[in-house]
Structures are given as C-alpha cells and as structure tokens.
Structure 1
Amino acid sequence: MVMFHSQGVHPGKRGNPHTRQHSDSMRRSLVDLEVIIPAYNEAARIPGTLHQTIEFLAGQDWSSRIVVVDNGSVDETVALVHRISREHRGEVPVSVVGCARRGKGAAVRRGLLSGTSKFTGFFDADLATPLETLTEAMTHLSGGAAAVIASRHAPGSTFVRPQHLGRRVGGTAFRALTRSKVKGIQDTQCGFKFFERDALTTAMVQCRSTGFAFDVELLLRLQDNDASIIELPVAWTDGAKSTFRPFQDGVASFASVIQLQKAAQ
C-alpha cells in the first residue's frame, strides 16, 4: 500500500511579485496531486464544481491542490475562484493561472506544465466524470501507471444522460479517425486524464498541438515512449450546458487530427 504524506501548504503572501512566484512554486511542490480545471466563462458552474471538488479532496489520504486555468474569461469566473479560495483557506488550496492562448488544449497544457507535484491531471468544469474516479486513478498511478484516463466507451462504461444525436454521430466518426493513431484506446477525448509527472513531462515536450488534437497527440506520445495508459470505464453525464458545438468544433477536431497525421508522415 502506498502512503501519501501531506505537508503544510501556506497561502501566498503580498510583496515582491518574484517572491510570490517563487513562494507559489515551493508551495505547490509540497502536494501529492494537482488537479487542473480549464475554465472559459464558467461563472455559472465553477462555484459548485470547486465546492464539491474541495470536499472530496479534503477527505483523501493524499494532499492536493486545485489549479483553475482561466482561458480568457470575460465573466466572473476568476473573481469567484478567488472568493472560494479564501473561503476554504486551510483546506485544499485553490489557485488561478491565466492562459492567453485560446483553446482548451492550450489551457490544459499551461496548467499541467505550471506545477511540480508528483501526480497531476485535469477534468472539465462540468464534472461529467464522477469525482470518485480520481480515487481509482490515484491507486493506479501510485502503483506505477504513467497515465489513467476516463472512458465513455470502454466495456462497462455508461451514459447517465444520453448525448444528443449530433455529438453521438460526430464522436463515432472521430473515434474511427483516431483509432489507427492511438491504439487500444477507446476514448481519447473524455475530459478526465491524470498522469505521473515525469512521464507526462517527457511526452509534453514532444507535443505541438494546442487545439482539439491535444489529447490525441499527448496519448500518442505517451505510447511512443512505452508509457502505460490505463483506461477506466465511467458513468458519464453529458453536460446540458456544454460549450462544444457539434458542427463547428467537430470540423475543427477532424482538421486537427488530419494535420497531426500529416506531420507524422
């Protein structure tokens, strides 16, 4: 059984910005796990997501930190995150980092590379994947897995709320396109992926995608490096307020993967 050792984490202090940056880096290095949540105009959902995530993480044996990556929000997302961070000071630390480059892939990349914890990963702000999945993910990671990803299409997975037709059709076509690239993986796009830091860093250095092909390329690089990837079937809930647009974003998704294929040739 792997034991995790929590260490004290102290809020950032006012003063010289370079001192604050150094202090934040040291502070973040003390936790076992960093959870990255990319956010773009998530004011309606982020309070509930953070409260639930903080409550869940506070009850685990491993120490954690939540990092919200603001991807250019123009609503109250950042202000709400700061408020919740103050409300829960002394429990699970919550911080915000900005990402000027638009796109979820860029935001996730920024968050993953900004920390130093042994384990890190991300999930979407809609909590479509149950938080309890993280317990099993950490068990596999502490046991030597390089990556643990949730899957909506692996044997045993279920849809709590069915996807609408447009997403089902687009998803089926996208999986057919990526199957030859990332072998043995049923679902490259589920928004729940966690990693061991060294394996992640090695793969990320090789990645160039920041758009819809980000997940595909990251998993591909991990496989190229013979890193073990475990796919967990989950009971997934399709977000009623999802920002994914089946036609526009679907076309962009296909274009990104085709560009990735051309680059590999």
Structure 2
Amino acid sequence: MDDQTVAHFRVYETGDSNGNWFIASTIAEVRDLVSHSSDFLACSRPNLAHLSTPALKKSRTYEILIVDDGSADETSALGVKLAGEYPESDIRVVTLEKNLGKGGAVRHGMLYARGQRLLMVDADGASRFEDLELLWEAMDKLAPKNEPAVVVGSRAHLVKTEAVVKRSFIRNILMYGLHTILRIVGVGHIRDTQCGFKLFTRRAAQQIFPAQHLATWIFDVELLLLAKQLGIPVEEVPVEWHEVAGSKLNVVKDSLQMLRDLLVLRANILLGRWKVFIEVPPLLTLFSLLNPALV
C-alpha cells in the first residue's frame, strides 16, 4: 500500500463495567479498513452467538475487532449496538474516514488486535465458527509456543460436493482458472487460498501484514506468498462451508480484477519492487546483547 491509503480512525471502546461506551482520545494514521454491508448486524449476530457454543473452549479470553471502512451507512453504530447485546464480549469498533479495500481492512485488524492468536473470519457466516477448534488444534501442533505460523481453513474437500457443483458454470470455470494461475504465482501448494477463515499467530501477523500491498479481493494470495517467502509454515485444514446469498462479489468483473492483481503481484516480485525484509537488530544492539558489559 502506498502513502495515499493513509486514513484517520477513531476507536470506540467499552468504558466501564456497566457497558457504557466512549470515543477514545487516540486518533492515529493507518493504512487499513474493512468493508461491511447493510446486513452487517444480521450477519454478525450468529458468529457472536457461536462464541458461547459448547464446542469452543471456555478457558480462552478473546476480543472482537470491528473495522468500519468509512462507509456511508451506520456500520459503526450497529457495531456498538451489537456490543450492547453481547456485554460479555470484549468488542472494539474502529471507524476509518475513507474506504480503502477489503485487504486493508484485514491488515488493520491484524496489526491492531491484541491477541496471541488472530482469527480472520468473514462476517457472513459462510464458515462454521465451531471449526475454530480445528484450526486451533492444528496451530497447537504447528506452533506450540506461538512461534510464527498460519493455519488456513480450506473448502478444497468440497469441490465435488453438491454445495460447489450447484454453483454457476462460469463461477466454477473461474475457480479452476484461478487455481492454475496460483500455481504460476507460487502458492499452488495451497488448495484454497480464498477461504475467509484463517488463523495467525501474533508473531506471524507482525511479519506478514506490514509487507502487504494489495487491498483487493486477492490479498489472501499475497499473504500466503509472503508467508512462504518469510519461511513461515502454513497448514491447510478442511472446514465446513455453505454458499451465502447476497454476496457483493461480481463474478466476472471481480475475477478480471483478481487476474490483474495477480499479474501485478507476480510482476512486482519478479522485478524486485516488492521485497520482504526480515528485521535484524543493528550491529551495535546485537553486540550489546552478546557483550552487555562493554556498552
């Protein structure tokens, strides 16, 4: 993302134990947003309700971060209303002044969240929230000490099922075409890059998201490619999924946009314009760590 994507944001947080809200005094500059539809409240309620399901372990603490992309509707107000309905949940609402794209939304959420493990999940309820346990168990094995790692939900096992077969012919053709291009780009080892159900350790998020450039629908591919370049392990876990009516995705238009963005991604990497840098302590700092008595 370039400097033109900078936007101001305000943070709404619970102010006391009675659930009263206030506008936090902090106004900062960020490069992120999330896009929400007018059905935001209806889509989010089921996910919040699922947090109390017996399938999820009760010993964990969690927060929910809602980012409003500067939309003209009442997304922020609806987020605050939602928090009032679920006072036991730690909910924060971040409002940006202008729309920057879905990928920027996720980027902001991941860099702004406070947890040791960060879940990216679409609010439309297409994924079954209880499947978080599957991702969590895989992460326990992949990163037992929360070292950098990513676990992605996958719908690849559903390709031959009725849920996918019933989709439009053009949608399935585009899906197979996308998979072919992904192999060329370098993430063909991941069978489902676009599932909106991904779990990151905090350390992985802090390495991957600052290097993200794309803010459009295809940003997932860049995240997985960045993980590969950084040597961060990625594991794919089958999850349940169902088609949700009312998607904002225009199949033909957005598929062409995805193709364009994939070509841009590939070209910038080949030309060396988009590089991943692993932070290394300055020589003096490293020297002081080894020889503290000499500094």
TM-score (norm 2): 0.72
Q: How far is the alpha carbon of 1:215 from its aligned partner? A: 0.7
Q: Encode CA deviations 1:50-106: one digit per residue, 9 max, x unaligned.
A: 3222222235331111111212322232222211101211x1122211343421111
Q: CA 1:21 to 1:85, structure 2 compared with 1: closer, same or farther past 3 Å?
A: farther
Q: How far is the alpha carbon of 1:205 from its aligned partner? A: 2.5
1:190 to 195, 198, 204: 195
Counterpart Cα distance in 2 of 1:168 and 1:115: 35
1:152 aligns with 2:155: yes
Task: Please tell me the residue identity of whatever aligns with 2:153.
Answer: A
Match of 2:221 in 1: 216
Q: CA 1:220 to 1:87, structure 2 compared with 1: closer, same or farther past 3 Å?
A: same
Deviates more, 1:149-158 or 1:70-79: 149-158
Q: How far is the alpha carbon of 1:260 from its aligned partner? A: 0.4
Match runs of 1:91-110 below 5 Å? 91-99=88-96, 100-110=98-108
1:50 aligns with 2:53: no
Match of 2:81 in 1: 83
Deviates more, 1:248-257 or 1:131-140: 131-140
1:123 aligns with 2:121: yes
Q: 2:44, 2:124 within 8 Å by CA — same for their partners in 1?
A: no
Counterpart Cα distance in 2 of 1:210 and 1:135: 28
Match runs of 1:237-256 below 5 Å? 237-256=242-261
Counterpart Cα distance in 2 of 1:75 and 1:159: 36
Give the share of equivalent positions with the same residue, in percent: 27
Task: Please tell me the residue identity of whatever aligns with 1:151.
Answer: S
Q: How far is the alpha carbon of 1:148 from its aligned partner? A: 1.2
Q: Encode CA deviations 1:189-209: one digit per residue, 9 max, x unaligned.
A: 111111001012112222222
Match of 1:63 in 2: 61
Deviates more, 1:92-101 or 1:234-243: 92-101
Q: Helix, strand or coil: the match of 2:124?
A: coil
- Structure 1, unpaired ranges of 5+: 1-9, 23-36
1:178 to 164, 176, 182: 182
Task: Please tell me the residue identity of whatever aligns with 1:171.
Answer: M
Q: How far is the alpha carbon of 1:258 from its aligned partner? A: 0.3
Task: Please tell me the residue identity of whatever aligns with 1:175.
Answer: H
Q: 1:38, 1:69 within 8 Å by CA — same for their partners in 2?
A: yes
Counterpart Cα distance in 1 of 2:22 and 2:217: 39
1:11 aligns with 2:14: yes
Q: 1:159, 1:237 within 8 Å by CA — same for their partners in 2?
A: no
Match of 2:290 in 1: none
Q: CA 1:71 to 1:130, structure 2 compared with 1: closer, same or farther past 3 Å?
A: same
- Structure 2, unpaired ranges of 5+: 1-12, 144-148, 271-295
Q: Helix, strand or coil: the match of 2:142?
A: coil
Q: How far is the alpha carbon of 1:126 from its aligned partner? A: 1.1
Q: 2:110, 2:209 within 8 Å by CA — same for their partners in 1?
A: no
Match of 1:264 in 2: 269
**RMSD, aligned CA:** 2.6
Larger radius of gyration: 2
